[in-house]
Structure 1
Amino acid sequence: MKKWYLGAVLGLVALIVAGCASFGDFGRVINVGMATNYAPLAFEKDGKVQGMEVDFANALGESLNASINIKTYAWEDLLEALDSGEVDVVMSGVSMTEKRKGMVMFSEPYMETGQMAIIRADDAGHLSSTIELMSGNHRVGYSLNTTGQQFVTNKLKNSEHVSFATTQEGIEGLINNNIDYFVHDAPTVWQLTSSYPTDERLFGLYTPLTDEYLAWAVKTGNESLQKELNTTLERWKENGFLTSTISKWIPVSVVLSEPGV
Structure 2
Amino acid sequence: MKNLTLLVFLFFIISGCTSLVSEKTVKKENLNNFLRVGISTNSPPIAYRQGGKITGLEVSFAEGLARFTGKKLKLVQLPWKDQISSLLRGKIDIIMSGMTITELRRYQIRFSTPYMVSGQIALIRRTDRNRFDGSISDLLNPQVRLGTVAGTTGDLFIQDIKAKGARKIYPVSTDGVKALLEKKIDALIYDLPQNLYLASKYADKGLIPTHILLTKESLAWAIRPDNGNLLENANNYLKSLTRTGNLVPLIQQWVPYYQP
- Given the two structures, how large is their TM-score scaled by the length of structure 2? 0.76
**1:122 to 1:197, Cα distance in 2 relative to 1, 3 A:** closer
The match for 2:214 is: 209
The match for 1:31 is: 36
| CA deviation map 1:95-135 (0-9, x unaligned) | 21223223321111011122111134555454565332133
The reply to whether residue 77 of structure 1 matches residue 82 of structure 2 is yes
In the alignment of these two chains, the number of paired residues is 232
The match for 2:91 is: 86
Kindly state the Cα deviation for residue 153 of structure 1 after the two structures are TM-superposed: 2.1
For the residue of structure 1 that corresponds to 2:70, the secondary structure is coil
Aligned 1:233-244 pairs, distance under 5 A: 233-244=238-249
Unpaired runs of 5+ residues, structure 2, are 1-27
The structure having more radius of gyration, on CA atoms, is 1
For 2:33, the aligned partner's letter is: R
Kindly state the Cα deviation for residue 253 of structure 1 after the two structures are TM-superposed: 4.2
Aligned 1:151-166 pairs, distance under 5 A: 151-166=157-172
For 1:90, the aligned partner's letter is: I
Q: 1:110 aligns with which of 106, 115, 121?
A: 115
Q: What is the alpha-carbon root mean square deviation over aligned residues?
A: 2.7
- Given the two structures, how large is their TM-score scaled by the length of structure 1? 0.76
Q: 1:229 aligns with which of 228, 234, 238?
A: 234
The reply to whether residue 147 of structure 1 matches residue 153 of structure 2 is yes
| CA deviation map 1:194-243 (0-9, x unaligned) | x2563515332222212221100123433332222112212222123323
What is the percentage of aligned positions where both structures have the same residue?
Answer: 30
Distance (Å, rounded) in 1 between the aligned partners of 2:78 and 2:31: 28
The match for 1:190 is: 196
Q: Which moved more, 1:99-108 or 1:183-192?
A: 99-108
The match for 2:18 is: none
Q: 2:173 aligns with which of 149, 167, 175?
A: 167
For the residue of structure 2 that corresponds to 1:76, the secondary structure is helix
**1:141 to 1:101, Cα distance in 2 relative to 1, 3 A:** farther
**1:162 to 1:222, Cα distance in 2 relative to 1, 3 A:** farther
Distance (Å, rounded) in 1 between the aligned partners of 2:91 and 2:116: 26
Q: Is the 8 A contact 1:136 1:156 kept in 2?
A: no
For 2:189, the aligned partner's letter is: V
Q: Is the 8 A contact 1:76 1:145 kept in 2?
A: no
Unpaired runs of 5+ residues, structure 1, are 1-22, 256-261
